[in-house]
Structure 1
Amino acid sequence: MAKGLLFYIKILLLFCTLGIYITPAMAQIIVDPEEENDTTQIMQAIPLAFSQVPYFTYGQGLGIMSPDSLFLMNIRFRMQNRAGFTFTEGENTQIEARVRRLRLRFDGFVYSPRLSYVIQLSFSRGDMDWDNTEFPNVIRDAMIFYRISPKLILGMGQTKLPGNRQRVNSSGDLQFVDRSIVNATLNVDRDFGIQATYSDRLFSNFYYVLRGAISSGEGRNIIATDGGLSYTGRVELLPLGRFERFGDYFEGDLIRERTPKVSIGISSSQNNNTLRTGGQIGTLLYEPTDMSTYMTDWLLKYQGFAFASEFLYRTSPMALTYNEEGNVRYVYTGLGQNYQASYIFYNDVEIAGRYTNLAPGSEINAMTPTIEHYTLGVTKYLKGHRVKIQSDLTYENRIFDPAAGRLNNNNWQLRFQVELGI
């Protein structure tokens, strides 16, 4: 009897010892990012009986899945370290040296792949909109999504509104050091509310995407309410088929589309009783007002060549607001145009050019100039948009209205940036 008991004890110890070595080995699965392995397939390849700890994957970030497969979290980070020099006529050279963006992102699902989430946090001062909000605005995205069907997704929380393409594209997926001044001035940015996305095929290879949002209209992490809401809608048409690997949501043709691909986007946003100069962005107005923003964009990619254009137009029935002392703060009304073209060589070096024109409306043209930008950019992609070195040179022409009594001026801006992320 004692010998038999001793035998079973030895077997039990053997299995325990094997478990100690097998569990970490099964958990430390290293995935080649180039292979783009599907997380679900990876997890299914791991026998549940061999592990009682979370599974780790290394591909598009660090993936962690619970042993019961009811929870998945993917962790990513990225940073943009930038140096810039602005040379203005008759003035000292301005130097920019800072961490422009530092982001931490979490995404995954809870209980079911149909119930997913996205969380994104920012940590650099300029990225937290500190100057306008006067507090560390850390939360950028906090969204819960539910996929009702393969074609329809609903979401609630705070994230980007379905506005112009350049704004919807991640700041980590740009082919210049930063977005254009048209986007910085007229975009509708992030907001808290509910969103819906529906995509389908119209006929043959012609696809379309419908996006809509009802939001607070005050921007991210603003708790003040004014009784008005913002309504945003967008239509995207893809007459030549879908882009490979969602290539319509990052700049430059890094995929080198094998056939011509085109996307046409039309967006509109109505923000009622807004409290900020840019609706969801900007400083506080002296009194609430309404504003309407209309946007259209075009995108073409084919065999390394890419061309994109955007038109943004904003109106307001009361663009100027005043305080008791007579000081004025205004909604930027007017038209913005942006055009950019690029080609990426087989050594992953890209040359890009951009022309931008931002013209104020008649209500405010005495207070702010028309601005033109001519930009030439060079990017070396080391690992796509995740790891890259960028530099661009911009000539800026500022044209003031003669009634403003100010002389036109121009300046040059040289910027250099290194981006690293997972």
Structure 2
Amino acid sequence: MPCPNKSLSQVSKTLLALTFLGLIFHFNGFSQTQSTIPYFTYGKGLGITSPDSLFQLNIRFRMQNRLGLRTKSESNLDISEVEARIRRLRLRFDGFVYTKKLNYVIQLAFTRSDMDYDDTGFPNVVRDAMVLYNFNKHFTIGLGQTKLPGNRQRVNSSGDLQLPDRSIVNSTFNIDRDFGLQLYYNNSISSLYYVLRGAISSGEGRNFNSSDRGLAYTGRIEFLPLGTFTNNGDYFEGDLARESKPKVSLGLSYSNNQNAIRTGGQLGKFLFAPRDIQTYMADFLFKYNGWAFASEFIKRNANDPITVNDAGEQRHVYVGHGENYQGSYLFKNNFEVIGRYSRVKPDEDLIEIEEIVEQYTLGFTKYLRGHRVKLQSELTYENNNWLNDTEDTGSYIVRFQIEFGI
């Protein structure tokens, strides 16, 4: 007769083996199920990373809801204009594909003023569509459509402004966005940090078909003699980081747009004949312990800036210069007081067409969650003066805006 203990031992071993195999299949199936679930992060927007970490998508949105009014004159306070609109409504996607070195940025706009509709005649939804490759922490190359390396206030996001909008200097002279090749390089020589940016672009602005009218060449250099800013504080307005030591940035930019076909180069209505446009930009930024001061100077040149069609209609490149000075203090309760002075002046070629414009602005901002959620207001006095006339005309502008986003 067989030994009962031996049979029992064989049965036990068989059951143990089957149990072990079952557990292997169970955990293998469980791990496969788990591997199909993406990873979610909640920092700057909603982040989604694929299980194999070969793809990442970050989703953000923001909107600016604005109320404003303008008086008929400085002495007649009757309302001449009411502004009640969604100033900006944008959706942004960014992340990487296959490797963290290969990045992309997409930004879409959905309001009329944000789509350049009045100048182009079609809804220009795409603001940014850029593919970037990071060779290392110092050097990046990108191809696509995005902001050119122009003046500091334009390089800053419109969601990172202290006041409801940028200055009249920026709106008159900035070079905005274009499609092309861009290079970014940052490094330091001893304790002197610097940033180099360059672009070769179409010169036609956002979402235009290819042409042989000429290219635009843009370059920018920034010097940071006292070290880098906290949390990239040189790219948002106000000292929200409360720099513990003084920080300074000096910036110089130059753009040469050859055979430009729009009044502002990459922006504006279409000229009746192409013109070469040169834009020179210089800016300064200081931040320390809640205090912030920024200034800009921009000069634009173009030979024979006035163009005329067969019917005698005129369109011109705004040649002249502008200056902007902006200072602020952020209290510890995240309430900020801002003052700004801006001035644009045309060259003598436009003395009969354009006027000198000055703005004096006092603003108040309450940050609820940094620049992502904030309440903004401003009171502006605007003075308009023709170069060939001694009579000034002024008016008051009041604005209130809610910035809301993730």
TM-score by length of 1: 0.88
1:343 equivalent among 313, 325, 329: 329
Offset of 1:168 from its aligned partner? 0.2
Q: Are 2:364 and 2:376, in contact at CA under 8 Å, matched by a contact in 1?
A: yes
2:297 equivalent among 290, 293, 311: 311
**Cα-to-partner distance string for 1:74-113 (whole Å, 9 max, x where unaligned):** 1100000000011122674211111100010011111111
Offset of 1:272 from its aligned partner? 0.4
Q: Are 1:373 and 1:395, in contact at CA under 8 Å, matched by a contact in 2?
A: yes
Equivalent residue, structure 1, for 2:61: 77
Offset of 1:226 from its aligned partner? 4.1
Offset of 1:301 from its aligned partner? 0.2
Equivalent residue, structure 1, for 2:317: 331
Offset of 1:384 from its aligned partner? 0.3
Closer, same or farther in 2 for the Cα pair 1:224/1:399, shift >3 Å? farther
Offset of 1:202 from its aligned partner? 1.4
Range moving further from structure 2, 217-226 or 62-71: 217-226
- Whole-angstrom distance in 1 between the partners of 2:210 and 2:354: 28
**Cα-to-partner distance string for 1:335-393 (whole Å, 9 max, x where unaligned):** 10000000000000000000001001111121111000000000000000000000001
Closer, same or farther in 2 for the Cα pair 1:67/1:232, shift >3 Å? same
- Whole-angstrom distance in 2 between the partners of 1:7 and 1:224: 67
After superposition, the CA RMSD in angstroms is 2.1
**Cα-to-partner distance string for 1:278-330 (whole Å, 9 max, x where unaligned):** 00000000111111000000000000000000000000012000000111100
Closer, same or farther in 2 for the Cα pair 1:88/1:197, shift >3 Å? same
Aligned: 1:172 with 2:159 = yes
- Whole-angstrom distance in 2 between the partners of 1:250 and 1:343: 14
Q: Are 2:345 and 2:355, in contact at CA under 8 Å, matched by a contact in 1?
A: yes
Aligned: 1:68 with 2:52 = yes
- Whole-angstrom distance in 2 between the partners of 1:182 and 1:378: 21
Q: How does 1:10-409 map to 2 (within 5 A)?
A: 19=30, 50-89=34-73, 92-203=79-190, 205-223=191-209, 225-402=211-388, 407-409=391-393
- Whole-angstrom distance in 2 between the partners of 1:198 and 1:12: 51
Q: Are 1:226 and 1:274, in contact at CA under 8 Å, matched by a contact in 2?
A: no
Closer, same or farther in 2 for the Cα pair 1:217/1:7, shift >3 Å? same
Offset of 1:137 from its aligned partner? 0.3
Offset of 1:408 from its aligned partner? 2.6
Equivalent residue, structure 2, for 1:418: 402
- The amino acid of 1:211's aligned partner reads R
- The amino acid of 2:260's aligned partner reads T
Q: Are 1:63 and 1:75, in contact at CA under 8 Å, matched by a contact in 2?
A: yes
3-state DSSP of counterpart to 1:195: strand
3-state DSSP of counterpart to 1:363: helix
Closer, same or farther in 2 for the Cα pair 1:360/1:58, shift >3 Å? same
- Whole-angstrom distance in 1 between the partners of 2:219 and 2:257: 12
- The amino acid of 1:180's aligned partner reads S
Count of aligned residue pairs for this structure pair? 390
Offset of 1:213 from its aligned partner? 0.3
- Whole-angstrom distance in 1 between the partners of 2:102 and 2:182: 15
3-state DSSP of counterpart to 1:185: helix
- Whole-angstrom distance in 2 between the partners of 1:398 and 1:375: 15
- The amino acid of 1:182's aligned partner reads V
- The amino acid of 2:110's aligned partner reads F
3-state DSSP of counterpart to 2:209: coil
Q: Are 1:158 and 1:191, in contact at CA under 8 Å, matched by a contact in 2?
A: yes
TM-score by length of 2: 0.92
3-state DSSP of counterpart to 1:402: coil
- Whole-angstrom distance in 1 between the partners of 2:21 and 2:123: 59
Q: Are 2:355 and 2:384, in contact at CA under 8 Å, matched by a contact in 1?
A: yes
- Whole-angstrom distance in 2 between the partners of 1:376 and 1:92: 20
Q: Are 1:290 and 1:318, in contact at CA under 8 Å, matched by a contact in 2?
A: no
Offset of 1:238 from its aligned partner? 0.3
- The amino acid of 1:101's aligned partner reads R
Equivalent residue, structure 2, for 1:34: none
The percentage of aligned residue pairs carrying the same residue is 56
- Whole-angstrom distance in 2 between the partners of 1:248 and 1:400: 36
Q: Are 2:287 and 2:293, in contact at CA under 8 Å, matched by a contact in 1?
A: yes
- Whole-angstrom distance in 2 between the partners of 1:385 and 1:167: 16
- The amino acid of 2:340's aligned partner reads R
Equivalent residue, structure 1, for 2:5: none
- Whole-angstrom distance in 2 between the partners of 1:226 and 1:276: 15
Offset of 1:402 from its aligned partner? 2.3
Higher gyration radius (CA): 2
- Whole-angstrom distance in 2 between the partners of 1:49 and 1:315: 63
3-state DSSP of counterpart to 1:172: helix
Equivalent residue, structure 1, for 2:3: none
